[in-house]
Each structure stands twice: as structure tokens, then as C-alpha cells.
A and B are shown apart, each in its own frame.
Chain A
Amino acid sequence: KQEVTQIPAALSVPEGENLVLNCSFTDSAIYNLQWFRQDPGKGLTSLLLIQSSQREQTSGRLNASLDKSSGRSTLYIAASQPGDSATYLCAVEKTGANNLFFGTGTRLTVIP
């Protein structure tokens, strides 16, 4: 079974800092990896989707990388803002499973 781990579980940084969130998965046979943002009491918002053939995706201040062979992905957030405070989840779609396997998330707090 695919296991997805996110470390750390929580992270606090001062406004303006660049930061990296980590995601690791046990089975490298994946179709894609997605990063989501979840605000308290709300649903998930998809941030970036990286296909298995890709190495990275960028959207604004966000950059996600994927290393299938090592089972790792990182989400880089540049120049963090208080509005970035949320829980960030990564999820992988195992080949042929038609199911996303989610990590438990990293709760990010950006301090003004």
C-alpha cells in the first residue's frame, strides 16, 4: 500500500522567509503528485499537479519538485506571507489505482 509522509507536521516562519515543505512516498510507481492547500473548516484547493514524467511545476511563488526514484517531493514557497498560513497536503496517484493517497499535511503559520 502507498504510504505518504509529510514532515514536519507543523512549521512557523516569519513573514518574508522562503520555506520548503517535504513529502515522501513509499511506492515510486505513480502517475502524478498533487499539492493541496486546506484552510480551517474548508475544503482542499489544488495548488500544483506534477505528472510522473515531469520534474517540477511552478505557479507564482510556489514551486513543486518531484523525484520519483527517491520517492520525494518538495513544495517551495518564496517570500512567505501571512495569507499562506494553512495546512499543505501532498497526494500521489498510484499507477492504475484511480485513487489519491494523501499525507497528513504540514500546518504552516506565517508570522507577520
Chain B
Amino acid sequence: NAGVTQTPKFRVLKTGQSMTLLCAQDMNHEYMYWYRQDPGMGLRLIHYSVGEGTTAKGEVPDGYNVSRLKKQNFLLGLESAAPSQTSVYFCASSSGGIANEKLFFGSGTQLSVL
């Protein structure tokens, strides 16, 4: 009964380092999303995907890249981490677009960039 699984759960990076966050879902959902959550702000959409092989920019895409090579996986990459990217990152998925379907979230990745 895994649902949406994110790895890693915690990570500390130095400025300029790169890393990839992995999101995996076992519900055969078409849509997947990456959000970041910062204190005092609502969750903000970074990138999303409407199906295998597709990606699209969200509200705050700068400094991030994504890939959806397999339907069940959605990867978020930081090529050159900056302190402003310190945040909690959440992956989510849905069977259809969010106009009609509930989102299912992972438990998050706490990222600190020093």
C-alpha cells in the first residue's frame, strides 16, 4: 500500500552541488507534480507531467529540471543548488488532471543548502 514514495527523506547540500530527488507512485497515475513548501508560504508548483515522456513548467521552475522516463517515476533535479532552494519538496500524483481528481502526496524531502 505504498502510494507515493519519495527518496531521500533528508539531504544537506553545499552551494553549487547537484542532486536528484526521486518520486515513485504505484497507482498507475498519469499526472505527477513537484511542489515546494516554505515557511509562511503556500505550496508552490515547480514542474508537472501529464504522462510518460512529458513535462511542463509550473509556478516556480527556475533552477530545477525534471524527467518522466517511466510512468511511475518523476525525477526532480537541482543542477547547481542555491541556499534559496532550501525547502521541503513534495511529490504528488493524480489519475486525471487536478480539475477533477484528488491529489495524492508523498511524505516529503527536507533539503538544506548551505
Contacts and interface: CB of A to CB of B under 8 A. Distances in A.
Contact of A98 (B4, B42, B48): B48
Contacts of A69: none
Specify the main secondary structure of chain B where it touches its partner: loop
B100 interface: yes
Interface in B31-72: 40-45, 48, 50, 56, 58-59
B46 to A, nearest CB: 10
Contacts of B106: 43
A46 B100 contact: no
Interface string B70-99: 000000000000000000001010000111
Nearest to B90: A43
Contact of B108 (A43, A89, A91, A98): A43
A102 B103 CA distance: 13
Q: Interface residues of A: mostly helix, strand, loop or mixed? A: strand
B107 A42 contact: yes
A41 B109 CA distance: 9
Interface range for A: 20 to 34
A99 B45 contact: yes
A46 B58 contact: no
A60 to B, nearest CB: 16
Given A102-B43, A103-B42, A104-B41, A34 B48 contact: no
Given A99-B59, A104-B40, A104-B42, A43 B102 contact: no
Given A99-B58, A104-B42, A46 B103 contact: yes
Given A43-B4, A46-B102, A49-B102, A102 B107 contact: no
A93 to B, nearest CB: 5
B98 A100 contact: yes
A44 interface: yes
Contacts of A102: 42-44
Interface of A: 4, 31-32, 34, 36, 41-46, 49, 51, 89, 91, 93, 98-105
Interface of B: 4, 40-45, 48, 50, 56, 58-59, 90, 92, 97-108
